[in-house]
Amino acid sequence: GGNDANPHHRNPQAGCATWPNKTSSLSGGSSPFYTQDFAYTVGKHTGKQPLQEFPAVPYGPLDFHCERALSSWTDPLVLNAGWLTGLTDLDTERENVQERIADYLTDLIGIGFSGFR
């Protein structure tokens, strides 16, 4: 997800994802890679694998918690640290992340917002 122009990152029908034919066994072919956002191709504009980068904010890969599958509804660590499918987990303990969020809320107050939930 996020601020990305790659059309392969999300399944717009919210149904099952359909993956292309396997290419890892082809001569000279590469293994496909999969991320939490159904991304399996390189970026159209960069030619690189998809990363947790949001340059408009700016947040980069280090500003997120490590990807962890939500695989157990009884394990407190997994419930606390697991990612819901397609949703990145911003590391709000980082000072630069806290500052950016505070700046954003200040901007909202400046344009007339009177409260937040």
pLDDT, position 26: 42
Does residue 71 share a domain with residue 38? no
> Residue 25 and residue 31: Cα distance in Å, rounded?
8
Asked if pLDDT for residue 27 goes beyond 80, the answer is no
Does residue 21 share a domain with residue 1? yes
Domain that holds residue 28: 1-50
Select from 57, 68, 65, 64 the least CA-distant residue to 99: 57
Structural domain tally of the chain? 2
Task: Give the mean pLDDT of 6-26.
Answer: 47
pLDDT, position 89: 81
Does the residue 55 lie in any domain?
no
28 Cβ contact list (under 8 Å, min separation 6)? none
Two structure tokens written together for 8: 């392969």
Instruction: Please give the model's pTM, rounded to 2 decimal places.
Output: 0.52
For the chain, count helices (H), then strands (E).
2, 0
Does residue 79 share a domain with residue 46? no
At 56, the pLDDT band (50, 70, 90 cuts) reads confident
What's the mean pLDDT when you consider all of the chain?
69
Does the residue 116 lie in any domain?
no
Does residue 73 share a domain with residue 33? no
Asked if pLDDT for residue 21 goes beyond 80, the answer is no
Asked if pLDDT for residue 94 goes beyond 60, the answer is yes
